[in-house]
Structure 1
Amino acid sequence: MTDTKIKALKPKTNRYRISDTGGLLLEVMISGAKIWRYRYQLHGVRQPTLTIGSYPEISLAQARKQRDEWASLVAMGESPKRAVQAARTEKLNTVRAFAEAWQADQLPGKSESYTRTIKRIMSKDVYPVLGGTPLGEVKPADVLELCERIKSRGSPKMALLTRNVLKRMYDFAVAKQMAENNPAAALVARFIATEESRTRVLTPKEIGEVLRGIYGSDIRQALKLALHLLVITMVRKSELTEARWDEFDLDAGIWDIPAERMKKDQPHRVYLSRQAVEMLNELRAYAGHSAYLFPSPRGIEDKPISKSTLNQAVRALSLDVQHFVLHDFRRTASTHLHEMGHPSDAIEKALAHKINGIKGVYNRAQYADQRKMILQAWADFVQVQVDGGRVTPLFRSA
């Protein structure tokens, strides 16, 4: 076999193989792809062929070298297949390496929001702490310490979700015989957090203090507006930071968030208050020609700010309001709107929460008038707290 002969091989209606020597084969696929295989017998019994790789990525010389290495193992009565599996296991030895392989195997076909959440958990929390640790050396205490670290920043639900993700990953590792035990399974979920772990609701006074602190800081005006919009639109952080201008109809006062950016994979309509429209008009000047409301100031690629930008901006402030995270704004809005007497179903729809039963059947116009009234009432309520005796408004008209 020579390179000239290999290049001359053409695909046929059925795949076929040609032999080199010593068990080395080249299989020509119907598509025209050419795959190196190794055929061998062990203890007199023919074994399934092993794949070496594709030609020309694997050259003839490289394929012969691999054949010789495997033939040496066979001559000593050892299985080259087991050697391949051992090498793969060694390559996937660390938590990070195995997690990436697990995601490649398990995430295809999953929803975009689920995929995004898994990757965020790994990159933000798991890799920095456990990424370089050998997969089999992670102990329950290590997982607990990681969860406690996440809880310490005010995110108990994320801590619980991280434990659950690691449990699923280690279930996979145990099934693949890559690990003997599941360290995350040893942690009782309720000891980490429950679904109702956070109950923090900002008082009206605290709402004013937070936003006045934001506007009085030296962070970029676009981020100040982002945080104010996060409060009065009642959306989740990523739904705002990744927003695109083509989702908005400012004349109609409507923001349509596509399903792929929503937690429940259902499109969501936000009815914009007067204040929100004014802030969005101001934001256009800061966004420039970007497709995003909040373009990243780094690099030349047009992409939105990172998911952590708003958290970092708030943490950098010297606020007197303690023990709150940005997601508490949604609970705060819900609590005060219920206290004002607004309909619960309309509030839940405004928060993009699922309503069970026949009332929960998705309809874009459902509770539209009530939701418009709710979001305007909430924006007005927030503005009263923010103004707090101030004469000048805290946002500028376009």
Structure 2
Amino acid sequence: MARLNDTTVKSLRANPGQDRKDVWFDEKGLGMRVSKTGRKSWVFVYHFSGRARRITFGTYPTIGVAEIRSLHATALQNLERNIDPGDPIQLQRAEIRSAPTIDDLAKEYLLRHAARKKSGKEDERMLNHDVLPFWRTLKAADISRRDVNALLDRIIERGAPIAANRVLALIRKMFNFGIQRSIITENPCANVVQPALSIQRDRILSLDEIRTFWLNIEGAAMSAPVISALKLELVTAQRKGEIVSAEWSEVDFETRIWTIPASKAKNGIAHRVYLTDLALELLAKLKALSGNSRYWLPSRIGDKPLTVRSISHALRINLESIGISNVTPHDLRRTAASMISSMGTPRLVVSKILNHVDSSVTAVYDRHGYDQEKKIALTSWANKLLEICNLIPRVSYEPARKEQKIAVKYSVNLATNTPVQWA
């Protein structure tokens, strides 16, 4: 048998006086038929269903050595799967059966792409809730623009237009990922219009609503950690996702600084938050409730924090009992930012408190941390919040011994306005 390489193939000639010559290579069943005119055709001989069969792959050099190796390997794989590599109908059926489904694409997307992003868990939730129940077994390459619009219509009909926008954004990303990975060749979301007009929310609580929220949430049917988490969003003006995922190792109780690492910050930039007396009292409650967990808000299942959805859901179903309406956790952050700004805090300092990205040229040169300015603004806001809620002035924070950094003492419980001591 001849060795399969370009040197061997180029040297092959038909014997004088013969119309053709068959040469077999050191690859199972693979050979070449050389005509007296010099035409060289790749052939593959095999047995299927007890009969000897032969197929021609094409000619050399149109099909080179590397390509014929690949074609030969595919043919052998088809034989192992009991598919006749010379039967185009069988091959077509096998290709259809093996084509990746939406379930396959979704798993690959979540594993290779979404897992590295902060939105990974939410992407997985939306796929499981809004996409896979309807598309799971469909071939990814068969999804059409009509299918996309039908999926979005179903979400809108249940009264969730903004969710439809988010699902569209998600599956558009997923199909683009599929194209990059050569799983599919086209994105069916191309030219699909966003189904609902996105209106930027601008809800800010009034002074009466702030007071009602702060005092009445203590009697709501939600867990104490969730209550503290919602209050912390109003006190610190930080994002609920950053509060929910916070760990005790991120807090320095001596300097009263909570450092949100870049990996957890929405904008990917590490952020320092000054902790006022009011924030520290809420953290003391959380520490007493969190036990040995590394998280401020540990989940009951495994070593992980509560989810953002659980916080939002708890507030949503308790709004009536609290005595306010149409309020989300993010509205608490927006309210805090608005109140801090209304007290005369410069817009730049408010932006620093919120950890918003400043893409201006000046920002490149301005490396000032604004810790002192943020401290003054957040302390003023905490005192204002107490005033709004008709609570007594804040008693100074008194750190405990170094070996018990988390233990802090207070002479007032701000929820009930009664004496208390945290040990």
TM-score (norm 1): 0.72
Structure 1 residues 306 and 177, CA gap change in structure 2 (3 angstroms): closer
2:188 is matched with: 182
Structure 1 residues 150 and 326, CA gap change in structure 2 (3 angstroms): farther
Structure 1 residues 72 and 254, CA gap change in structure 2 (3 angstroms): closer
Partner Cα distance (1:161, 1:72) in 2 = 43
| Matching of residue 87 in structure 1 with residue 90 in structure 2 | no
Q: Deviations over 1:11-31 (max 9, x none)?
A: xxxxxxxx89668xxxxxxxx
Structure 1 residues 283 and 173, CA gap change in structure 2 (3 angstroms): closer
Q: 1:99 aligns with which of 103, 106, 110?
A: 106
Q: Deviations over 1:41-72 (max 9, x none)?
A: 952443515779xxxxxxxxxxx9x5634574
1:268 is matched with: 271
SS in 1 for 2:323: coil
Partner Cα distance (1:105, 1:221) in 2 = 37
| Matching of residue 310 in structure 1 with residue 311 in structure 2 | yes
What stretches of structure 2 of length at least 5 have no aligned partner? 1-25, 31-43, 47-53, 59-67, 394-411
* 1:250 positional shift: 1.3
Q: Deviations over 1:323-372 (max 9, x none)?
A: 22111122212222222211100000100001232442387752211100
Q: 1:393 aligns with which of 401, 411, 414?
A: 414
* 1:287 positional shift: 1.2
1:140 is matched with: 149
Partner Cα distance (1:187, 1:356) in 2 = 29
Partner Cα distance (2:45, 2:359) in 1 = 59
Partner Cα distance (2:375, 2:72) in 1 = 64
Alignment of 1:219-234 (within 5 A): 219-234=222-237
* 1:106 positional shift: 4.4
Q: 2:243 aligns with which of 240, 244, 247?
A: 240
One-letter amino acid matched to 1:350: I
* 1:200 positional shift: 0.9
* 1:205 positional shift: 1.2
1:14 is matched with: none
Partner Cα distance (1:97, 1:263) in 2 = 29
1:324 is matched with: 327
TM-score (norm 2): 0.68
* 1:232 positional shift: 0.8
**Contact kept? 1:337, 1:347, Cα under 8 Å:** yes
1:32 is matched with: none
* 1:162 positional shift: 3.5
2:41 is matched with: none
| Matching of residue 373 in structure 1 with residue 376 in structure 2 | yes
1:122 is matched with: 123
Q: 1:343 aligns with which of 312, 324, 346?
A: 346
SS in 2 for 1:327: helix
What stretches of structure 1 of length at least 5 have no aligned partner? 1-18, 24-37, 53-63
| Matching of residue 43 in structure 1 with residue 56 in structure 2 | yes
One-letter amino acid matched to 2:334: R
Structure 1 residues 389 and 178, CA gap change in structure 2 (3 angstroms): same
Structure 1 residues 256 and 239, CA gap change in structure 2 (3 angstroms): same
SS in 2 for 1:285: helix
1:58 is matched with: none
* 1:305 positional shift: 1.3
1:361 is matched with: 364
SS in 1 for 2:283: helix
1:74 is matched with: 85
RMSD after superposition: 3.7
2:62 is matched with: none
* 1:98 positional shift: 2.1
Partner Cα distance (1:44, 1:162) in 2 = 45
SS in 1 for 2:70: coil
Partner Cα distance (1:385, 1:337) in 2 = 13
Larger radius of gyration: 2
Q: Deviations over 1:253-280 (max 9, x none)?
A: 1000110001111101101111111221
Partner Cα distance (2:421, 2:171) in 1 = 48
| Matching of residue 170 in structure 1 with residue 171 in structure 2 | no
Alignment of 1:244-263 (within 5 A): 244-263=247-266
* 1:214 positional shift: 1.5
1:56 is matched with: none
Q: Deviations over 1:178-233 (max 9, x none)?
A: 486624742247x4315xx1111111211122222311124222221111112111
SS in 2 for 1:43: strand
Partner Cα distance (1:166, 1:104) in 2 = 15
Partner Cα distance (2:233, 2:198) in 1 = 25
**Contact kept? 1:140, 1:186, Cα under 8 Å:** yes
Q: Deviations over 1:224-247 (max 9, x none)?
A: 111111211111111011111100
Partner Cα distance (2:45, 2:316) in 1 = 61
SS in 2 for 1:295: coil
| Matching of residue 209 in structure 1 with residue 222 in structure 2 | no
SS in 2 for 1:259: coil
**Contact kept? 2:78, 2:85, Cα under 8 Å:** no
Structure 1 residues 105 and 243, CA gap change in structure 2 (3 angstroms): closer
**Contact kept? 1:234, 1:350, Cα under 8 Å:** yes
**Contact kept? 2:204, 2:331, Cα under 8 Å:** yes
